[in-house]
Every structure is written in C-alpha cells, then in structure tokens.
Copies of this chain bind each other. A is one copy, B any other.
Amino acid sequence: MKLLEERIRRDGEVREEGAVLKLDSFLNHQMDVELFNEMGKEFFRLFGDEGVTKLLTIEASGIGIACIAGQYFNVPVLFAKKSRSKNIDPDVYSAPVVSFTHGGVNEVMVSKRFLERGDRVLLIDDFLANGAALDGLISIVEQAGATVVGAGVCVEKAFQSGGVRLRGRGVRVEALARIAAMNETGIQFC
C-alpha cells in the first residue's frame, strides 16, 4: 500500500541497529485515523469476500485499526486482553505471547462467550515480526473451534521469521507494507 509505505519512509525511525522501527507518530501511540481508514478499507478489499464474522486483535496498539476496519466489515471487533481484570469472565481461552517490544511473556485471553465454533475470524494487528502475537491469537481461535480466515497486518518486518512461518502453516497473511531491510540510513520495501 503506497500511502503507508510513503508514510513509513517519511515518519518512521529505525533504532537499535535496525532491530526496531518506531512508527509512534501515526501508528501505535499517536494515531492517524484518516490513514487507519485507508488501511481498514484495504483490509476489506483483501478479505471482504471471506465471510468474516468477527475481527480479533490484541491490546493495545491493534485496537484502533481493528475498530476502524470493523466499520467496513460490519462485524463485532474483539481484543485479546493481556491481564485478568474484574470485568472479564473467568472462563477464557488463553495463550502465552512473548512480547518483542516489551520483553516478557503475557498470557493473553478472550472470554469464551465471544468466540463460537461457526465464527470466521480475521486477525488484525499493527506489526508482524516474529509472529508471536498472531500465534497466540490463532491458538485462541482454534481452541474455540472457529476458523482463522487470515491475518491483516499493517507492517510486516519481512526479514524476521513470523511471516514465512505463518504462511508455511497455511495462514493467509496480508501485510499492507512489507519491509525487506532497514537501517539508520533507510528502509527498503519488498
């Protein structure tokens, strides 16, 4: 998606010798809702004929994009929670997820009430790197006996292993921008 690639080139910052791409001015801290709208529209163009019944993302930075995309799909949007709280059911599907940007492992969870056997679930997230978050979400959907129709991610770091591994498992992964390589002097897209 040209619009996203141009924005990444303009506003992205590569840090830690090419390991970290900071997009916090428009994607995962400050959010450009107009851009989100274009991305949501594109996810719908890609997955709109898949009979999607639910969007599933993971807190926190996937939520905004998933909600905006949800306007096109016209289905409920669900986010996996990273911690137990008083206002979530005790009865949950859960999976461990290692965080690339925070370090540490979160047990992510979704209330069993909101995923059913017949659901056709599209996963949405801002970044795909090692694929740990998507692995966790896929596990949760499978525990419910529902179907993963695919994963729509905004930015894939294609030089990390997640995309290859997930596609190898048969998951349809669509990334709106795929980064082949990056360092402090520039970003190359696939």
Assess whether A28 is in contact with B67, with CB atoms less than 8 Å apart: no
Question: What is the size category of the interface that chain A forms with chain B?
Answer: 35 or more
Report the bound CA distance from A40 to B100 in whole Å: 33
Report the bound CA distance from A100 to B86 in whole Å: 9
Given A70-B33, A77-B33, residue A24 in contact with residue B89 (CB < 8 A) = yes
Contact flags (1/0) for A127-148 with B, using CB distance below 8 Å?
0000000000000000000000
Q: How many copies does the complex hold?
A: 2
Assess whether A88 is in contact with B30, with CB atoms less than 8 Å apart: no
A177 contacts the other chain (CB 8 A): no
Sorted nearest first, the 4 A-B pairs with minimum C-beta distance are: A59-B60, A64-B67, A33-B70, A85-B101
Residues of A at the B interface (CB closer than 8 Å) are: 15-16, 19-26, 28-34, 36-37, 59-60, 63-64, 66-68, 70-71, 74, 76-79, 81-89, 99-102, 110-111, 113-114
